Structure 1
Amino acid sequence: MTLRSRGVALGAAVGSLSLVAGCSGDPEIASYGLDDADQAACEAFVADLPAVLADEDEVEVDGDGDPVLGAAYGDPAITVTCGVPTPDGFDQTSSCEVADGVGWYVAPEAFDDQDADVVLTAAGYRPAVAVEVPGELRPDAPAAAIAELAALVEQHLTLEQRCS
């Protein structure tokens, strides 16, 4: 069984993208109550996630979905979560970091503090995918992670609103 398919149902608080340690200390992936089409798209996306992301090996995760719709890499962990809500502040005029043709929204305040954790969201896609990178892995890991995930986003998710 892959690490992505061994998530343990925990009943986590929905709506938070923060890394929260579960009972076992594994990173936690939240679930967001998707419709059937988005659930299927996320399952296909997660099934194709790599074993290594931004030079970090995949680690076990806990999650409140079955299957868990994400993965984690390294310690401290980079997390990838599919089916997240559109982030506050994202709209038709939002600028995004673009990696291999895929736009990733980053809250403007995240650019100022290069030591802070950062969440990059492919918010123009349905379902949306978020990548959370711990501050100690900046500045290189965010760019590497979104570049490595771009082809999977385009393959499995539907572009609804381009950002640049």
Structure 2
Amino acid sequence: MTLSRRRPLLVLSAVAVLAAAGCSSSDATAKVAVPSPPAQERAACETLDKLLPDTVAGQKRHDPAPDSPLTARWGDGDAEIVLRCGIPRGEEMNDPKSNGVQVNGVWWVLFPRSEGPRFVTAYRDPYIELLTGTRYAHDASVLQAFGAPVLKATKSL
């Protein structure tokens, strides 16, 4: 199935997709790099920031430093969830073997990491990245909280 003119995306069930993710603890003290998107993308990210929930997967929001509407954070350690909005489209998005999942109307591409899964929105402008802790290595439900805000604040490609 081809989901875009740019690249095919292998669609698997959330369980199968996340089963490929590794398991180890995340570094809760890591600094969060703030993206530098163009003005139009920045405006969409600022809108998204206002729509993001206070709680995701039972984790309360406590934004990282430096304070920016382009980043958000929930939880700590293995339950950490970090959002970065306005990231550049990385070369890894061109891999036709990338695993993806659609949750609440948003396509996400999965990039397994030892610290926990990394998800990047597909077919949305601007691109959004979620870095999750190992607690979510086999659980795509963390993505549910982002469907409505992402659809409302971003545009389809």
Query: Cα offset for 1:159?
Result: 1.1
Cα 1:51–1:92 shift into 2, 3 Å: same
CA contact (8 A) 1:42 1:83 kept: yes
| Matched length | 129
State the TM-score, normalizing by the size of structure 1: 0.68
After superposition, the C-alpha distances for 1:39-95 in whole angstroms (9 at most, x for unaligned) are 1000010111110011111124113xx634121111122101111122332138455
Alignment of 1:92-111 (within 5 A): 93=96, 94-107=98-111, 110=112
From the superposition, tell whether residues 54 and 88 of structure 1 become closer, same or farther in structure 2 (CA, over 3 Å).
farther
Per-residue deviation, 1:129: 0.6
Q: Which runs of 4+ in 1 moved over 6 A?
A: none
Gaps of 5+ in 2: 1-25
Which of 145, 149, 155 aligns to 1:148? It is 145
Q: What is the rounded CA distance, in whole Å, between the counterparts of 2:101 and 2:152 in structure 1? A: 19
Q: 1:67 to 1:126 in 2, by over 3 A?
A: same
Partner of 1:88: 91
Q: Residue type matched to 2:155 in 1?
A: T
Map 1:7-156 to 2 at 5 A: 25=29, 28-63=31-66, 67-76=68-77, 77-91=80-94, 93=96, 94-107=98-111, 110=112, 116-140=115-139, 143-156=140-153
Contact 1:20 1:28 in 2 (8 A): no
Once residues 60 and 105 of structure 1 are traced to their aligned partners in structure 2, the CA distance between those partners, rounded to angstroms, is 24
- What percent of counterpart residues are identical? 22
Native 8 Å contact 1:86 1:123 kept in 2: no
Q: Specify which structure has the bigger relative contact order, considering alpha-carbon pairs within 8 angstroms and separated by 6 or more residues.
A: 2
CA distance in 2, matches of 1:83, 1:123: 13
CA distance in 2, matches of 1:92, 1:154: 24
Supply the distance in 2 between the matched residues of 1:92 and 1:157 (Cα, whole angstroms): 23
Backbone CA RMSD of aligned residues: 2.4
| Distance in 2 between residues matched to 1:82 and 1:60, nearest whole Å | 13
Cα distance in 2 for partners of 1:75, 1:33 equals 25
- CA separation of 1:28 and 1:116: change in aligned 2, threshold 3 A: closer
